[in-house]
Structure 1
Amino acid sequence: MLTTESLTEAESQLAHNLAITLVKEDTDVNEVGKVIAYLRSIVDQPDAGRRFFSYLKTLVTNGWQIGHSGRTIGYYRNIERACNQYLQSQEANAQTMLKILGWAMRLMRYYKVSPIEEISISQSPQVEQISERQAEIAEVFQSQKFEIDQVLDATVLSIKGNKVTYEMLGRIKLTEREPKKAASLEEGQIVKVKITALKEDGTIKSVKFIN
């Protein structure tokens, strides 16, 4: 079972705030994974923290040369700004930074499928640790690979006109137009839906009722 015993309350807050900030700025989780890989490669060096922040600055400066899309440089800026804000205090302890970043990446996948209006950055020095339930769900979404035309079980949460809100995997909620099927569905009904589009980070963008 996944636990978060290795995170202190302060570290948990930093991971939460870092993840929320990056999700609200629509930052690509895969780019976060790349900077984590870099930090992991140098984490045992005595100046790893300083080198990490220098690396982020270099990404922003030279991102136009190495980016794979027009949005990549924006992702780099978001990551540098968020790390400067939430990890600068941990610069002397690269292992702690790596741990916080790892959890932030897991939580990004979790928060990307949570209603964004329910998510807020904690300003309090006392913050509830990431719950075991949150951690388990985050781990599921980190490892889950979705594909176009993949079929999932979904619960019909609500029906408003021709708009149907589905819940999949116990957490993912999406509202879709179902002009031909909405009238025949009932709230609480378990149905089959097909993935019709994915976001850049591999999470589900849209689904379609199929039975």
Structure 2
Amino acid sequence: MQATTDLTNTQWQVADAIARQLVLDQTDLNEFRKTISYLRAYGDRPDAGKKYFDYLNALTRNGDRIGHSKKTHGYLESITAICQKYLENYKDDADTMLQILGWAARLMQYYKVAGPIGEIPEPTIQSEREAEIQAVVTSQEFYEGQTLEAVITGIKGNKVTYEMLGTLRLTAREPKHAKDLSEGQIVTVEVTALKPDGSPKNVKFTG
């Protein structure tokens, strides 16, 4: 299956992981689709993503009271646990959550038809921020002594946090300069050490 342009690579991995885990748990696809219908119906309401989680928890908690069979209750427990595990970062973005769930349902149907997928290792999913950082690191060549423009995003005591290239953030001790700096200020920093992946490990204020 190929990634859709509707999702970022990270979101595609999330959708795929949800689908695979649900299939491995032998979760009923129709029960999963019912929960998606709830989010689709109420997705334009405030806190829709959080309320989707509340809805899943309520279904699981009250499953026996509202006539669900033991098997259905197991399906709901699986759906709740897996969705909360993989969608926590999207609870404030109901539209994206709905897209991910929609593709997860399609993939789930595909995997069920394709036959047993066997045990799969726990997927390693980059966060959106990790993906952004990786993109910057691979597109730039850093070296010790290099100077970069940075925005000060935080100051705590003599520790100053710099953001470079709109993504990379590093905190450095600046005992001589911290008191004269302010958040939001644009400054120049020098790269003093690199990580094994070639990205800056340490920087210092230069002006």
Q: What TM-score comes out, normalization by structure 1 length?
A: 0.55
Provide the residue aligned with 2:116 in structure 1. 115
CA distance in 2 between counterparts of 1:25 and 1:118 reads: 11
1:161 aligned residue = none
Map residues 46-195 of structure 1 onto 2, 5 A cutoff: 46-112=46-112, 113-117=114-118, 119-125=120-126
**Alignment partners' CA distance in 1, 2:111 and 2:121:** 11
Partner of 1:40: 40
The alignment yields a C-alpha RMSD, in angstroms, of: 2.0
Q: What stretches of structure 1 of length at least 5 have no aligned partner?
A: 127-211
1:147-203 per-position Cα deviation (integer Å, ceiling 9, x unaligned): xxxxxxxxxxxxxxxxxxxxxxxxxxxxxxxxxxxxxxxxxxxxxxxxxxxxxxxxx
* Cα distance per residue 1:57-84 (max 9 Å; x no partner): 1001111133443201101100110011
One-letter amino acid matched to 2:92:
A
Shift of 1:124: 4.9
CA contact (8 A) 1:22 1:78 kept: yes
Inter-CA distance 9–72: structure 2 relative to 1 (3 Å threshold): same
Q: Is the 8 A contact 2:32 2:79 kept in 1?
A: yes
**Closer/same/farther in 2, CA of residues 58 and 68 from structure 1, 3 Å limit:** closer
Q: Which amino acid aligns with 2:90?
A: Q
2:10 and 2:125 in contact (8 A); partners too: no
Residue aligned with 1:71, SS: helix
Aligned to 1:133: none
Q: Kindly name which structure, 1 or 2, has the bigger radius of gyration based on alpha carbons.
A: 2
Identity %: 46
Structure 1 residue 120 displacement after superposition: 4.7
Aligned counterparts of 1:76 and 1:31: Cα–Cα separation in 2: 7
Q: Distance in 2 between matches of 1:25 and 1:115?
A: 12
Decide whether the 8 Å contact of 2:3 with 2:9 is kept in 1. no
Q: Secondary structure at the match of 1:65?
A: coil
State the TM-score, normalizing by the size of structure 2.
0.56
- Structure 2's unaligned 5+ residue stretches are 128-207
What one-letter code is carried by the residue in structure 2 that aligns with 1:40? R
